[in-house]
Structure 1
Amino acid sequence: MSDRIALRGIAVTACHGVLDSEKVEPQPFRADIVLETDLRPAGESDELARTISYAEIAQEAERVLTGPTVDLIETLAERIAAIALARPTVEAVEVTIHKPQAPAGVTFRDPVLDGPSVTVRREQDRPVVIALGANLGRDVAGTIDAAVAALRDTDGLTMVGVSGRFVTEPVGGPEGQPEYVNAVAVARTRLAPHTLLRRLHQIESWYGRTREIRWGPRTLDLDLIQVGDPRDDSDITSDTEELTLPHPRAHERGFVLLPWLDVDPAAVLRVGDGVRDVQELARDVGDAGVRPERGTTSGPAS
């Protein structure tokens, strides 16, 4: 379960409602907002930049509540939820709008605390691309398959499709490495990028992955390639020590591009200030020592 930040009892007086009188006669409204997020980075670092600004969310919600008149409190709730989900670290939000003096034709026990309310819950739903690779162990292909199964079992991650397995000649790193087996998984997720990355590292650790030699042999490598969709600028960009998005070298790696096309022929990737078709990038790179493993095909992650 995600961590939570609660902002309860944001109170305003405003004019919202279907009746003509409600559009000119102010009445009280109250909003409760619960944000689901990953607070571990903030808690471990004690850095303000790693959490969500409670003040910003509260002030933007207040601007919605005191803004232009709307007929439905459902509309207010949707607008506030959209504001919260615009933060990439917010995984889900629950918004409740109270209208204690709504003209419902009945008497409520407490006109301040009771009365009609609407609650909406909205979750992130972003496309995500994950590259898998391994070249150590008795059953490298089996490791890739097991990693895919672990991704499928990840709460908050819904697998869409997985490429066939590809065999790749080692690029860089120590000489004499065995060939790699690579694949790409396409999924959708509500998880914040850092939360998903931590899950990938957890799965790697189950197979003895260590991060000592750059581009060295490994039992399992899981890379977060892209989160969001560059077509509508909803992709998340990050350039920190912990996480760089999109992956800075994906556009030049045949062992990422070719499996990715196998599962999503229409894929696109942000490269620099532009968005490129992965098919075009793959043509630029060539096969680069990458070939499909015989007898494997892409398909849905069923």
Structure 2
Amino acid sequence: MTDRIRLTGLEADGTHGVLPEEHLRAQRFVVDVTLEVDLSAAGASDDLADTVSYAEVAQDVVEVVEGPHVDLVETLADRIARTLLRRPPIEAVEVVVHKPDAPIPLRFADVAVEIRREARHRVVIALGANDGDPGHTLAAAVRAVAGIEGMRVDGVSDLYETDPVGGPEQPVYLNAVLVGHTRLSPHTLLGRLHEVEADHGRVRQVRWGPRTLDLDLVQHGDPGAGDDVVCDTADLVLPHPRAHQRAFVLVPWAQVDPRALLRVADEPVPVAELVSALDADGLLEGVRTRNTWQPSW
């Protein structure tokens, strides 16, 4: 079950309502928010960077309530939810907006609108294997990723055969790229991907050595929409620092999502253009279409 942070009884005045006088006269609104967040990292680190600032959440809510007029409390609640979902690592949010002074000509205790919204981030995951039965492993990995709570697979590329680069002598790789959407934060999703790798016998010993299964989080968010995560920590670098140079990532990615963008040097660049640049430099020879496949998820 996802961890939760609750902030209740936050008051602010706003000019929201259908009646003409409500457009002009500020009224009291009371807001409760419940944030669904994976707090395991914060519990271990005792670092504010691994959780959510309650003060900043409260300020977001107040700014929406005190902001531009809307007729419906339902719209106000939706705006609050979508504003809060822009704050990582919030995965989902429940918002209750109370309008205790609503212009109802009857005696009542309260009127409230309650909604729940989930984050929806585009994600790109590169899959690779060259030890054991790679084809079987990759098909099983697609199903396992699709089974992660909060993850939805939208598509998987064809299967590609790739010559290994660097490291000890080893068999060729099979590679593919999976695209989808998730409500999970980057660190949480990465942890789930490591669990899938471990379930398939992945042991991190020899750098660039043979792999039973490799799952790399390439991108979290959409550079075109400006909501992609850019980070550089000891545990995670996004976008993947070498993705723009890796033909075995770019070729299948462009195949499954021809309109994909990757942030390179702080600029969104079409993945198809990156593939063309590698082709012009003769760097696609080591990547070959193995076959089409139809992994289930």
- Asked whether the two chains share a fold, i.e. TM above 0.5, the reply is yes
State the Cα deviation string for residues 73-128 of structure 1 (Å, max 9, x = none). Answer: 223212221221111211111111001221223322x3xxxx21111211111111
Q: How does 1:151-300 map to 2 (within 5 A)?
A: 151-174=145-168, 176-286=169-279, 287-294=284-291, 296-297=292-293
Query: 1:268·1:277 contact (CA, 8 Å) conserved in 2?
Result: yes
| Corresponding residue of 1:131 | 126
One of 116, 129, 137 as aligned partner of 1:143: 137
SS of 1:7's partner is: strand
Matches of 1:91 and 1:248 in 2, distance apart? Answer: 25
SS of 2:224's partner is: helix
Identity %: 54
> Following TM superposition, by how much is the alpha carbon of 1:233 offset from its aligned partner in structure 2, in angstroms?
1.1
TM-score (norm 1): 0.91
Query: Partner amino acid for 2:219?
Result: Q
State the Cα deviation string for residues 161-195 of structure 1 (Å, max 9, x = none). Answer: 11111111101111x21111111111111111111
Query: 1:91·1:190 contact (CA, 8 Å) conserved in 2?
Result: yes
Matches of 1:256 and 1:16 in 2, distance apart? Answer: 49
Query: Partner amino acid for 2:270?
Result: D
Matches of 2:226 and 2:204 in 1, distance apart? Answer: 32
Query: 2:60·2:84 contact (CA, 8 Å) conserved in 1?
Result: no
Cα 1:64/1:277, change in 2 over 3 Å: closer
Cα 1:18/1:64, change in 2 over 3 Å: same
Consecutive unaligned residues in structure 1, runs of 5 or more: none
Matches of 1:214 and 1:171 in 2, distance apart? Answer: 11
SS of 1:230's partner is: coil
Matches of 1:265 and 1:301 in 2, distance apart? Answer: 21
Stretch deviating more after TM superposition (72-81 or 264-273): 72-81
TM-score (norm 2): 0.93
Stretch deviating more after TM superposition (15-24 or 41-50): 15-24
> Following TM superposition, by how much is the alpha carbon of 1:13 offset from its aligned partner in structure 2, in angstroms?
4.2
Aligned residues: 293
Query: Partner amino acid for 2:139?
Result: D
> Following TM superposition, by how much is the alpha carbon of 1:228 offset from its aligned partner in structure 2, in angstroms?
1.0
One of 105, 108, 118 as aligned partner of 2:113: 118
Matches of 2:224 and 2:114 in 1, distance apart? Answer: 32
SS of 1:270's partner is: strand
Query: 2:139·2:296 contact (CA, 8 Å) conserved in 1?
Result: no
Matches of 1:171 and 1:187 in 2, distance apart? Answer: 28
Matches of 1:172 and 1:228 in 2, distance apart? Answer: 30
State the Cα deviation string for residues 39-96 of structure 1 (Å, max 9, x = none). Answer: 1111111111111000111122123223444332223212221221111211111111
SS of 1:222's partner is: strand
Query: 2:160·2:175 contact (CA, 8 Å) conserved in 1?
Result: yes
Matches of 1:262 and 1:63 in 2, distance apart? Answer: 43
Query: Partner amino acid for 2:236?
Result: L
SS of 2:189's partner is: helix
Consecutive unaligned residues in structure 2, runs of 5 or more: none
Query: 1:160·1:301 contact (CA, 8 Å) conserved in 2?
Result: no
SS of 1:185's partner is: strand
SS of 2:101's partner is: coil
| Corresponding residue of 1:97 | 97
Query: 2:85·2:92 contact (CA, 8 Å) conserved in 1?
Result: yes
| Corresponding residue of 1:36 | 36
Cα 1:14/1:255, change in 2 over 3 Å: closer
Query: Partner amino acid for 2:272?
Result: Q
Query: 2:248·2:287 contact (CA, 8 Å) conserved in 1?
Result: yes
